Amino acid sequence: MSKLSHVDSANRPTMVDVSGKLVSEREAHARSVVKLPQEVLSQVTDDEISSKKGPVFATAIIAGVMAAKKTHELIPFCHPLGLDSCKVVIEIDGDSAVIDCRCSVTHKTGVEMEALTGASVAALTIYDMLKALSHDIVISETKLMSKSGGKRDFERE
């Protein structure tokens, strides 16, 4: 079994020491999928849903970027990163809103958690803004799609 990175030799939680790592360009892509019932899908016009709280997808994009930038405040042991880029895109695919969050940084540590946090918070924002229409909205998955620039690259097939 491989050793967990956030546990020290005495099995206590700890932040990873990145002082010996080299700075490199790092990128990550995460995706969240929000399944929308028909009564919500019927509200989509020009790839957006207007609600009493404002434009749903535009607001979710802003929330996702803001969350990615604050990941270190939300997830214990995440290093604070000054993101070089964070892009959130939301598209309707069948009965789902598909959220893609892509982050990049030039740093000693990766941006997977930032991309995952951005996609997750965008999904939660969609739920929050649309729950008045239906509670049958389901955030069905959040997953890392790819990462590059660290010890090992990853690409989901």
What span, in angstroms and rounded, lies between the C-alpha atoms of 100 and 115?
A: 8
Superfamily grouping for domain 26-147: Molybdopterin cofactor biosynthesis C (MoaC) domain (3.30.70.640)
More confident call, 134 vs 9: 134
The pTM for the full model equals 0.92
**H or E element that contains 59:** helix 56-69
Exactly one of 46, 100, 128, 136 is catalytic; name it: 128
Closest to 149 measured CA to CA, from 109, 103, 101: 109
Asked if pLDDT for residue 1 goes beyond 70, the answer is: no
What span, in angstroms and rounded, lies between the C-alpha atoms of 103 and 97?
A: 19
Q: What percent of the chain has pLDDT over 90?
A: 81
For 110-150, the pLDDT digits (tens) are 999 999 999 999 999 999 999 999 999 999 999 999 999 98
What average pLDDT score do residues 73-100 get? 96
What average pLDDT score do residues 28-42 get? 97
What average pLDDT score do residues 40-50 get? 95
What average pLDDT score do residues 41-59 get? 94
Instruction: Note whether 100 and 147 are within 8 A (CB).
Output: no
* Mode of pairing for the β-strands spanning 54-55 and 96-107: unpaired
Closest to 24 measured CA to CA, from 152, 124, 135, 113: 152
**H or E element that contains 54:** strand 54-55
CB-hemisphere CA count at 13 Å for 7?
Answer: 5
116: exposed, middle or buried (C-beta count within 10 Å: 0-12, 13-18, 19+)? buried
Res 2: pLDDT: 54
Q: Is 128 labeled as catalytic in the residue annotation?
A: yes
Instruction: Note whether 110 and 13 are within 8 A (CB).
Output: no
Asked if pLDDT for residue 60 goes beyond 90, the answer is: yes
| Least confidently predicted of 3-17, 68-82, 115-129 | 3-17
Res 13: pLDDT: 86
What span, in angstroms and rounded, lies between the C-alpha atoms of 3 and 25?
A: 25
Instruction: Note whether 60 and 129 are within 8 A (CB).
Output: yes
